[in-house]
């Protein structure tokens, strides 16, 4: 079985070659759809493929991706963004051999950010490879997603998102144009519009749309949890009671998540209620990280609770427990700034 790589790009001269070098020798066809580049993007694309197409941008990511998919000629289609990288080519070639025509979709981890050691701090899963003749379609003008069904293969081969460009207001402008044009939002649009408002510093408006999203009911569990976490962040400087309320509301949708427990602990640390903070941090180690396609803050499940517990036990005068958690944090994230600071601190304390 062969794979077509389908990409939509615009002004990606700083990252496109890195992306294509990482994958060009493991896919069988490369299709690049340019949506209006004015830099060297198309020149770089031509180094790797003759299948370069131009598409008039209409403020609709799904439409552009669907066009790119329509050009694929191989049995399977893979998609990437220009700032993505595939590092494990050998495992990917093994994965290709598993594509037997019966598998409709392959999900792969999407690593979004990294700490000082290159360890993953935030990730999720995306449907990354799909069967061509299934004719799956993308949906959503912004934060588009593939509507898929059928037999699935869960791969542990990650795609690394190595973003260089700062977050822009592009997506927010598309949503605002939809409102101006009276194009109705889906329930999902409401959630992602709230995200864009928050990312662009429009906190009070973001709160309005997050709360509207949650009141509508019926949202994806992972979006509900993320909305609550974001609402807690929005309320941090506005209303401490509401901040805590939305952290606890995450428990209505699923078993406790480390992301919420860490934030609850931070609230109690700020209130100088360290025994309560310790309770929520210690609880994390008994939790099972969910298998989900949703957003996961990996650091909240690994070294962050140990760093916070190191602080809490030190403040309570329990040096042995504090140092034990420092050792655990150091094993996981030895170059984290807090770990380095604590290392020097304990050298002085324990001498």
Task: Tell me, yes or no, whether 238 and 196 share the same domain.
Answer: yes
Q: Say if strands 159-161 and 84-86 run parallel, antiparallel, or are unpaired.
A: antiparallel
| Nearest in space to 110 (alpha carbons), one of 298, 250, 244 | 298
**pLDDT score for 6:** 98
Question: How many distinct structural domains can be found in the chain?
Answer: 2
118 and 96 together in one domain = yes
Q: How far apart are CA 61 and CA 139, in angstroms?
A: 8
Residue 220's pLDDT band (cuts 50, 70, 90): very high
Choose one of 136, 161, 186: the last residue of a domain: 161
> Could you tell me the two tokens for 200?
């662009």
pLDDT band at 56 (very low <50, low <70, confident <90, very high): very high
- Per-residue pLDDT tens for 234-280? 999 999 999 999 999 999 999 999 999 999 999 999 999 999 999 99
**Looking at the structure, do residues 335 and 226 belong to the same domain, yes or no?**
yes
Q: Are residues 123 and 190 in the same domain?
A: no
Whether residues 146 and 259 share a domain: the answer is: no
pLDDT at residue 351 tops 80: no
273-288: average pLDDT:
98
What are the structure tokens assigned to 40, written together?
A: 């060297």
Query: Phi and psi dihedrals of 283, rounded to 5?
Result: -60, -35
**pLDDT for the residue numbered 19:** 98
Do 230 and 307 belong to one domain?
yes
Same-domain pairing of 157 and 120: yes
> For residue 28, how far is the Cα from the chain centroid?
28
For 322-341, write each residue's pLDDT tens digit. 999 999 999 999 999 999 99
What six digits make up the tokens of 347?
């050298």
Say yes or no: 221 and 153 in one domain: no
Domain interval for residue 92: 3-161
Q: Is the pLDDT of residue 343 over 90?
A: yes
Query: Residues 221, 324: one domain?
Result: yes
Question: Residue 156: what pLDDT?
Answer: 96
Same domain, residue pair 237 and 208? yes
Say if residue 197 is in the same domain as residue 156.
Answer: no
Rounded Cα gap, residues 23 and 15, in angstroms: 13
**19-52: burial string, b at 16+ Cβ within 10 Å, e else:** bbebbeebbebbbbbbbebeeebbebbeebeebb
In this prediction, residues 16-35 reach a mean pLDDT of 98
> Which CATH number do you get for residue 280?
1.25.40.10
* β-strand pairing of 145-147 with 105-114: unpaired
* Bridge partners of residue 154, in order along the sequence: 107
Both structure tokens of 107: 């999900």
Please name which of 64, 91, 88, 92 lies closest in space to residue 78, comparing C-alpha atoms.
92
* Pairwise CA distance, residues 150 & 137, whole Å: 14
Give the pLDDT confidence score for residue 118 in this predicted structure.
85
Q: Provide the pLDDT for residue 115.
A: 85
Tokens at residue 125, please?
């899963």
Average pLDDT over every residue of 157-169: 92
Q: What is the CA radius of gyration of the chain?
A: 23
Please give the average per-residue pLDDT across 222-243, as a whole number. Answer: 97
User: What mean pLDDT is reported for the chain?
Assistant: 96
Domain final residue pick, 161, 185, 218: 161
Instruction: Tell which of 161, 195, 224 closes a domain.
Output: 161
Q: What is the pLDDT of residues 94-152, one digit of tens each?
A: 999 999 999 999 999 999 999 878 889 999 999 999 999 999 999 999 999 999 999 99
Token pair 């060009």: residue: 24
- Whether residues 277 and 157 fall in one domain: no
Q: State the SS3 of the chain.
A: CCEEEEEEECCCCCCHHHHHHHHCCCCCEEEEEECCCCCCHHHHHCCCCCCEEECCCCCCHHHHHHHHHHCCCCCEEEECCCCEEECCHHHHHHHHHHCCCCCCEEEEEEEEEECCCCCEEEEEEEEEEEEHHHCCEEECCCCCEEECCCCEEECCCCEEECCCCCCCCHHHHHHHHHHHCCCCCCHHHHHHHHHHHHHCCCHHHHHHHHHHHHHHCCCCHHHHHHHHHHHHHHHCCCCHHHHHHHHHHHHHCCCCCHHHHHHHHHHHHHCCCHHHHHHHHHHHCCCCCCCCCCCEEHHHHCHHHHHHHHHHHHHCCCHHHHHHHHHHHHHHCCCCHHHHHHHHHHHHHHC
pLDDT of residue 20: 98
- Domain holding 125: CATH number? 3.90.550.10
d(CA 130, CA 4): 10
The region of weakest confidence among 51-55, 168-172, 202-206, 306-310 is 168-172
* pLDDT tops 90 at residue 287: yes
Whole-prediction pTM: 0.92
């Amino acid at each position: 079985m062969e794979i077509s790589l389908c990409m939509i790009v615009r002004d990606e001269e700083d990252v496109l070659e890195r992306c294509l070098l990482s994958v060009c020798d493991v896919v069988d066809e490369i299709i690049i759809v340019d949506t209006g580049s004015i830099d060297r993007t198309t020149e770089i694309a031509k180094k790797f493929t003759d299948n370069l197409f131009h598409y008039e941008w209409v403020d609709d990511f799904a439409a552009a991706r669907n066009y790119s998919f329509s050009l694929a000629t191989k049995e399977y289609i893979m998609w990437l963004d220009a700032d993505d990288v595939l590092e494990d080519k050998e495992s990917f070639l093994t994965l290709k051999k598993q594509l037997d025509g019966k598998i409709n979709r392959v999900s792969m981890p999407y690593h979004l950010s990294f700490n000082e050691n290159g360890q993953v701090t935030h990730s999720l899963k995306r449907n990354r490879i799909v069967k061509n003749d299934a004719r799956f379609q993308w949906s959503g003008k912004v934060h588009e997603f593939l509507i898929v069904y059928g037999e699935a293969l869960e791969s542990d081969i990650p795609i690394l998102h190595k973003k260089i460009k700062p977050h822009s207001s592009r997506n927010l402008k598309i949503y605002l144009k939809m409102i101006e044009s009276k194009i109705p939002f889906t329930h999902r649009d409401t959630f992602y519009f709230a995200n864009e408002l928050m990312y662009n510093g429009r906190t009070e408006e973001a709160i309005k749309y997050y709360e509207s999203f949650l009141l509508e009911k019926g949202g994806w569990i992972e979006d509900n949890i993320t909305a609550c976490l974001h609402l807690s962040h929005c309320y941090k400087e506005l209303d401490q009671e509401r901040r805590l309320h939305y952290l606890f509301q995450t428990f209505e949708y699923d078993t406790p998540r480390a992301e919420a427990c860490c934030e609850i602990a931070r609230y109690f640390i700020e209130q100088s209620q360290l025994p309560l903070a310790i309770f929520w941090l210690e609880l994390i180690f008994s939790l099972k990280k969910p298998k989900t396609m949703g957003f996961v803050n990996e650091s909240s499940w690994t070294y962050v609770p140990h760093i916070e517990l190191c602080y809490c036990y030190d403040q309570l005068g329990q040096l042995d427990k504090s140092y034990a958690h420092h050792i655990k944090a150091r094993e996981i994230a030895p170059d984290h700034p807090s770990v380095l600071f604590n290392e020097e601190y304990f050298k002085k304390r324990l001498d």
